[in-house]
Amino acid sequence: MVILKVIFEGLCPNCNGSISDERLLLGAPCKQCLPVAGRTLKTYSALPYTSYQVKIAGLLEKFGTLREYKTISELSRAVLEFEELFKKAVGSKLWSAQREWAKRVLKGVSFAITAPTGLGKTIFGMVMSLYLASKGKKAYIVLPSRLLVEQVLNKMEEFKEKTGLNHLVIIGYYAGIEKRKKEKFLESLNEGSFDIIVTSSRFITVNFDKISKYVFDFIFVDDVDSVLKSSKDIDKILRLLGIKEAELALAYKAIKLKRKAITMVKIGERQHVLDEIRRTRDEIETLMASRKIGVLVVSTATGKAKGERIKLFRELLKFTIGATTIGFRNIQDIYLERTEDVEAQVLKLVKKLGGGGLIFVGLDDGKSLADKLAESLRKAGIVVETCYGASVKPSVIRSFSDGDIDILIGMASYYGVLVRGIDLPHRIRYAIFTSIPRFKFKLEIKRDIHPFRLFVLLNELAEYMDKEDRKLADKLAVELKRTVLKLEKRKVDEVYEQLKKGIEGELSYYVNVCLKAIEFLSKVLRKKEVLKKLEKSPYLSIKEIEGQKYVLIPDVRTYIQGSGRTSRLYAGGVTKGISIVLCDDSKLLRGLIRQLSWRFEETRWLHESEVNWDELVSEVDEDRRTVKLIMEGKIPSRFKDLVKSALLIVESPHKAKVISSFFGKPAQREILGLKAYEVTTGDLTLNIVASKGHVFDLVSDKGFHGVLVDEDKFIPVYATIKRCSNCGEQFTDDVKQCHYCGNEDIMDSMDIIRALRELASEVDLVLIGTDPDVEGEKIGWDIMNALRPYVADMRRIEFHEVTRRGIRNALKNLKAIDEKRVNAQLVRRVEDRWLGFELSERLWRKFNNKTLSAGRVQMPVLRWIIERYLDFKKSWTVVFRVKLSNGSVIKLTGLKMDPLKVKNELEGSMIRILDISEDLVDRDPPPPFTTDAMLREASRLLHFSAVKTMRIAQTLFESGFITYHRTDSIRVSLDGINVAKDYIVNRFGQEVFKGRKWAPAEEGAHECIRPVKPMDARELMRLIREGLIRVKGITLDHIKLYDLIFRRFIASQMKKAKLKVQKTKISLKNIAEINHEAIIDVVEPGFTLISPIKLEPEITGKEKVISVMFRREPQILPYTQGEVINLMKERGIGRPSTYATIVQKLIDRGYVVERKGRLIPTTLGFKVHNYLTEKFGDILSERVTRDLERKMDMVERGADYQRILLEEYREIKSLS
């Protein structure tokens, strides 16, 4: 049952007025617009949602109140009409993805379809052209080949007859067309007596003058890659939409300016170019706003379209083209030991697996082995072709695709034709690598090394160098990447030729960059300690070949590309593939497995003996049968809807971009200023956008501080958040200028809601992917309410790590919004508002200062800081530091003697041992981080403020490096244990690994803060530098925090350490007797291998006092931010999501300052604390605050939130 919970201002989909969540969740306008009871509206809910929207519009029309909802109903009516026409023409219903495309076209939106073959792109373009033509509009279908033009023309004539649209005139042209048909085509084209035109892309190139006089309402380009064979064709297509030459020129100017800005270093000059880009785009928008532009839909199965002019789509039509290089890798990786008889091994595998295989021969083995393998397979009756050149003959590809060729053999090279140039999801089933793909470098580095290989070598060898050399290696690698490797591939090859031959030329600067790196590596590789480390490395090999020493490094890129041919995206999923490696070097295999796990955390390797071959082959073959059926237009019965259209909403733009990258290069669209990333996951066309955090907040001008009070019921009133672009303040009032600074540039979150509504109106499913806590739940609930009138199906997805695995699992486990979490956040926000406003108003009057504020949690925390500061002031005393001859330092306090006398007496004296013992002590590793522990340690070790730590952790989470960072849990999941195991076993050995859950699974879905991949900070930096992980904004501070989190987590999964502890009782010349305890040795290192413990010198009794220093010092220090947060956790005040902001508010309001990392109360802080304690001490006590936290936890578990609000209301009202 839907019960009224809140009122949203401005969200009625019809009048833009106030509306309850009750009405929004019914998908209906407000009661003022539609005076129909909710129970009546529910009787219409059985209708399809488009029909429901049409019904609602009819009721509004009946009451004479139809306004903005008319847009919704008109789109629904048009979709229903199109669906009916589609069913008549094709004989089947629209798929969800096709419905999404239809809605976009009907709204007048241009876009790219980047989707695999079999999704019905061409059929959609044909039927949409017919529909629009039936409405008196002109359509143009552009196809890649003559054959397709003929097929489409014939099919459209068939569709005309089925749909009763025989009056429409469809004309077409293709090479070899009959003379009579050609003459009729040209006559109709010249006179304009046609509704739809169908041609190949070449027709536009050759005959543009014949069609340039027309402006088309709809252009459908099937296979945009073919259009790009002549880049000017893009300009021509855009002109056929009604875009003028002047607008094209301005758009191309913006493209060149953007390219220029990217290369600029000086901020001022770059900003000048960015301002010019903005002015140019504004001019384009002004010119194009004066007339209607046609709709362009371009489709591609691969998304390989490249070139500068394709960027015109972005500048003029607000979309870009993506690519379907999918991030999911559905491959079973298998290894077996290579024997001397490789031909027999390969033959055995091919016989077991059958046709549809690729064989990759190592570069060291070369064509010689490839030819031997081909001969061996042919003798066994297997049809084989070898592919060595720059491309494979089309006839070979066709024969292999059709099953006439069983096996293709090529070289295991990154740019090899089979590694990168073949995409046959219905045919390629497995790949066999005859050796570990590798890079091979001479240890004696010379000029004949390619810049790319030089870059790889710098990165790979850096971990074996000392600290100083490692820094220089990193610097040289960055310089190579930013200079030489930024050039076009052709230019990089020219640099290589000049480097090799010692030629001076225009590329000398780049040659010199390479030479610096070569000289450095030559020097480093002559160092004995480096060579020893290389020889001991478990991840690379040193081999002597024909008297020359080489270093061999696994080539993971080639392996990913080559094996990836076996697992491809199709309309419905990702095909299962098999990749088999014949291991000729166990170290290289270990290195390959390690590097693959960094990129694909779900990878699991099996030895051939562990494989259930029958089950695996069956799964592979089932996928190929499915793909073939889909390509033939026969959809398997298990697919209710082949590919569903969905909108995924997250909080952060950075997170949206990272998630989209898991599925290939996303297409992009801009909707009312909001960037949307569009990808295909196989079973979803997924649009990913960001809400940018909270969109709504309580109003300040309704009820009791934004809450309507109706007897004992409380109804909060929410409005969109407005933010001042100048000072950053936010408010909900609908004003024209900022209350605080007077600035008139106000950003309203309603713009985000409008954009989200536009996107939601196109799809069949909305996924709420906000953060997995009460704040994220409330943001998601708000968005769900705002979008419900536009889409029927809305679900919650929850992920605790931004990884392929995390997102994939979340998409498989859709759930409902947790109303209990929403209620808990609502109570927290209302209580914060009530108490905050009431106390703040009193502070304003008392101190005549409207910048002051107070909150229930802030005040106890301020009290702790003040009390600690007062203790600090009282704790000053003389402290002696006695340094012994063995390096130990002993601290003395509480001596009543004259300090100078103590110093003179002790210096030069011998210590006397009164008692001494040694014990072996087991020390457990610390648990992994919770939020408070992370904040404490980042404050102690890195000197980060709490806000800075949380900001950095947020970026690390959104970038897919750590799990969710707002958590009270130390629980470790099985995935987490496996991450640690991979790292520990490979780095330190099986014997030191000890997997620990640390807490039972019942603790909840949250787990500790941990890395999501077995990749330490150095490896992370390397992958970012190499471009294998593409993220922006990662600084040295991010790496420092990641390192802290990583080491703490890995330590938590290692064995305990056995330490030797010495306890001594020492007499210092009868002046003092002290007990001294020190760790003097690590007997069994355990977790100290990753988290070292500082050792102290052993005391023998022969030590002499060599110096005595003394000074007055405090025995109690003011709190650090980390210590305050630890206290908040211990005393049950605050939550992981609020720890940092509570401390920061005290600093921002001027109640506390931070000096040398310590929190010091200000005079204002003392005054505010004293006033509030005197007047409202009970309500602001630590006990009452802790009790409220407990009540909020109860609400999250299902307690009546209205009862809690009533208790708080009465308490706060009692203040007056």
What is d(CA 55, CA 75) in angstroms, rounded to the nearest whole number?
A: 13
Helix (H) or strand (E) holding 533: helix 528-536
Report how far Cα 770 is from the mean position of its chain's Cα atoms.
13
pLDDT digit string, tens, across residues 618-676: 999 999 998 888 777 776 555 556 689 999 999 999 999 999 988 888 889 999 989 99
- Pairing status of strand 7-8 against strand 19-20: antiparallel
- Pairing status of strand 765-768 against strand 644-650: parallel
Place of tokens 């997995």: 772
What is d(CA 1145, CA 1157) in angstroms, rounded to the nearest whole number?
A: 16
1094, with CB counted inside 10 A (0-12, 13-18, 19+), is exposed
DSSP-derived secondary structure letter, 95: P
Fold type of domain 827-874+1119-1213: Topoisomerase I; domain 2 (1.10.460)
Residue 794 has phi, psi (to 5 degrees) of: -130, 130
At 564, the amino acid letter reads G
What is d(CA 611, CA 623) in angstroms, rounded to the nearest whole number?
A: 19
Is 964 annotated as catalytic? yes
Integer CA distances (angstroms), 785 to 645, 753, 791, in order? 20, 11, 11
At 367, the amino acid letter reads K
Q: Is 405:386 a contact under the CB 8 Å cutoff?
A: no
pTM: 0.88
Place of tokens 């039509």: 317
**Ordered DSSP codes for 883-922:** EETTS-EEEEE---S-HHHHHHHHTTPBPEEEEEEEEEEE
**3-state secondary structure (DSSP) of residue 1207:** helix
Residue 106 has phi, psi (to 5 degrees) of: -65, -25
Fold type of domain 931-1055: Topoisomerase I; domain 4 (1.10.290)
What is d(CA 1064, CA 52) in angstroms, rounded to the nearest whole number?
A: 84
Which residues 6+ apart lie within 8 Å of 569 measured at CB? 116, 324, 326, 425, 664, 680, 682
What is d(CA 201, CA 227) in angstroms, rounded to the nearest whole number?
A: 6
pLDDT, residue 328, reads 66
- Pairing status of strand 19-20 against strand 793-796: unpaired
Q: Which of 1136, 790, 1159 is nearest to 939 (CA)?
A: 1159
pLDDT, residue 1052, reads 97
Report how far Cα 402 is from the mean position of its chain's Cα atoms.
39
pLDDT, residue 2, reads 46
Q: Which of 581, 498, 488, 591 is nearest to 538 (CA)?
A: 591
**108-243+293-302 CATH, one of 3.40.50.880, 3.40.50.300, 3.40.50.150, 2.30.42.10:** 3.40.50.300
What is d(CA 260, CA 255) in angstroms, rounded to the nearest whole number?
A: 9
Report how far Cα 718 is from the mean position of its chain's Cα atoms.
30
Q: Are 331-437+557-631 and 643-695+753-817 in the same CATH fold? A: yes
Q: What is the mean pLDDT of each run of 10 residues along the chain (1216 residues)?
A: 80 97 95 94 89 94 96 95 94 89 96 79 94 97 90 94 95 90 92 94 90 96 74 89 94 87 68 88 88 91 67 90 69 96 96 96 92 95 88 84 94 84 87 95 86 89 90 90 84 89 85 92 91 91 86 92 88 88 95 89 90 96 88 62 88 92 87 92 90 95 94 93 88 85 89 97 96 94 97 95 89 94 94 92 91 89 96 95 94 90 92 93 96 95 95 94 93 93 91 93 73 93 82 90 98 96 92 92 96 93 93 95 94 89 93 95 96 89 89 92 93 83
What is d(CA 939, CA 1154) in angstroms, rounded to the nearest whole number?
A: 12
At 622, the amino acid letter reads E
Which residues 6+ apart lie within 8 Å of 674 measured at CB? 689, 690, 751, 752, 755, 756
CA quadruple 1202, 1207, 1210, 1215: dihedral, nearest 10 = -130
What is d(CA 562, CA 418) in angstroms, rounded to the nearest whole number?
A: 7
The alpha helices in 241-365, defined as continuous H runs, are 245-263, 267-288, 312-317, 342-353
Q: Is 766:649 a contact under the CB 8 Å cutoff?
A: yes
What is d(CA 875, CA 76) in angstroms, rounded to the nearest whole number?
A: 75
CATH number of 876-924+1058-1114: 2.60.510.20
What is d(CA 802, CA 1130) in angstroms, rounded to the nearest whole number?
A: 30
Q: Is 133:126 a contact under the CB 8 Å cutoff?
A: no
pLDDT digit string, tens, across residues 36-71: 998 999 999 889 999 999 999 999 999 999 999 999
CATH number of 331-437+557-631: 3.40.50.300
Which residues 6+ apart lie within 8 Å of 62 measured at CB? none
Please state the three-class secondary structure of 1091-1156 as a single string: CCCCCCCCCCCCCEEEEEEEEEEECCCCCCHHHHHHHHHHHCCCCCCCHHHHHHHHHHCCCEEEEC
| Token couple for 614 | 């029958």
- Pairing status of strand 765-768 against strand 793-796: parallel
The alpha helices in 543-585, defined as continuous H runs, are 556-564
Catalytic residue among 964, 983, 1139, 1151, which? 964
What is d(CA 1041, CA 1029) in angstroms, rounded to the nearest whole number?
A: 18
Which residues 6+ apart lie within 8 Å of 287 measured at CB? 244, 246, 247, 250
At 414, the amino acid letter reads Y
**Half-sphere exposure of 976 toward its Cβ, with a 13 Å CA cutoff?**
32
How many C-beta neighbours within 10 Å does residue 469 have?
18
What is d(CA 234, CA 312) in angstroms, rounded to the nearest whole number?
A: 8
Q: Is 1034:959 a contact under the CB 8 Å cutoff?
A: yes
| Token couple for 1037 | 């501070």
Which residues 6+ apart lie within 8 Å of 113 measured at CB? 101, 119, 121, 297, 298, 299, 300
145, with CB counted inside 10 A (0-12, 13-18, 19+), is middle
Which residues 6+ apart lie within 8 Å of 893 measured at CB? 877, 878, 879, 880, 1115
139-143: strand order across its sheet? 111-114, 295-300, 218-222, 139-143, 196-200, 170-173
**Domain ranges, ordered by start, for the chain:** 10-107, 108-243+293-302, 331-437+557-631, 439-554, 643-695+753-817, 697-748, 827-874+1119-1213, 876-924+1058-1114, 931-1055
The alpha helices in 289-318, defined as continuous H runs, are 312-317
Place of tokens 């990662």: 1034
**Half-sphere exposure of 38 toward its Cβ, with a 13 Å CA cutoff?**
13
What CATH class is the domain 643-695+753-817?
alpha beta
First to last CA, the chain: 38
Angular region, 91: left φ>0, alpha ψ -120 to 50, beta rest: left
